[in-house]
């Protein structure tokens, strides 16, 4: 297949062919500093956004806040299940400390006279993927996770969620020496219909 010479981005094509998530447990210091985080967030917002609503916002979880929120996650998980082993409590406590920086992408999508809710939510998802790629572009490993605490009503105050807001994803960002193995990919031919 011939590349369209004017718009070809072979480096981007190569990246997309090899893009992988690094497990959060495989991440270590250093994480991005404040200026690098700001650059990632600026790049992340370059997404389709019909109506220029910016129906998303960010909560950066770094430093001691990772541990403080982790203690609360362990408490809530214990209240929910009541039968957690000490190892399971520790897993909950460490959820946000696995990577040096965790950025919550918050969907602020709401009713709008012209822009459907679904389109606004899709824009928040696009921000998550752009943030993942922006972290990689700056040399950091990344992983987009949601996990149970993205959906539990009791965790909402921990992340400063307002009425109607939802967590689109937690982007775990750090360093890693690991090259994650590839996984089986979908059969594009089986998923595609051409309407010629």
Q: Is 46 annotated as a binding residue?
A: yes
CA 142 vs. chain centroid, Å, equals 8
142's CB contacts (< 8 A; 6+ apart) are 21, 22, 131, 132, 135, 136, 171, 172, 173
Report whether 19 belongs to an annotated binding site: yes
Q: Is 144 labelled a binding residue?
A: yes
Residue 146 among known ligand-binding residues: yes
Annotated ligand binding at 117? The verdict is no
In angstroms, the CA 54 to CA 61 distance is 21
Please name which of 77, 85, 84, 40 lies closest in space to residue 62, comparing C-alpha atoms: 40
84 annotated ligand-binding residue:
no
R_g (Cα) of the chain, nearest Å? 19
Measured between alpha carbons, how far is 182 from 13 in angstroms, rounded to an integer? 16
Under 8 Å CB-to-CB from 170, ≥6 apart: which residues?
Answer: 96, 102, 103, 104, 105, 144, 145, 146, 147, 150
Would you say 98 is a known binding-site residue? no
Asked whether residue 118 is marked as a ligand-binding residue, the answer is no
Binding-site sequence positions for FMN = 19-21, 46, 50, 144-146
Binding-site sequence positions = 19-21, 46, 50, 144-146
């Amino acid at each position: 297949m011939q590349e369209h010479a004017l718009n070809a981005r072979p480096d981007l094509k190569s990246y997309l062919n090899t893009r992988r998530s690094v497990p959060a447990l495989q991440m270590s210091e250093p994480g991005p500093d404040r200026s690098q985080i700001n650059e990632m967030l600026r790049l992340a917002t370059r997404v389709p956004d019909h109506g220029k609503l910016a129906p998303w916002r960010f909560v950066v979880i770094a430093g001691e806040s990772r541990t403080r929120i982790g203690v609360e996650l362990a408490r809530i998980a214990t209240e929910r299940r009541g039968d957690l082993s000490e190892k399971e409590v520790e897993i909950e406590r460490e959820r946000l400390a696995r990577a040096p920086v965790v950025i919550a992408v918050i969907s602020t999508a709401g009713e709008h006279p012209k822009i459907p809710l679904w389109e606004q939510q899709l824009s928040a998802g696009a921000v998550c993927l752009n943030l993942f790629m922006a972290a990689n572009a700056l040399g950091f490993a990344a992983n987009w996770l949601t996990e149970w605490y993205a959906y539990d009503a009791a965790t909402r105050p921990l992340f400063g969620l307002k009425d109607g807001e939802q967590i689109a994803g937690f982007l775990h960002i750090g360093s890693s020496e690991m090259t994650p193995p590839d996984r089986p990919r979908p059969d594009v031919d089986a998923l595609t219909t051409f309407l010629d």
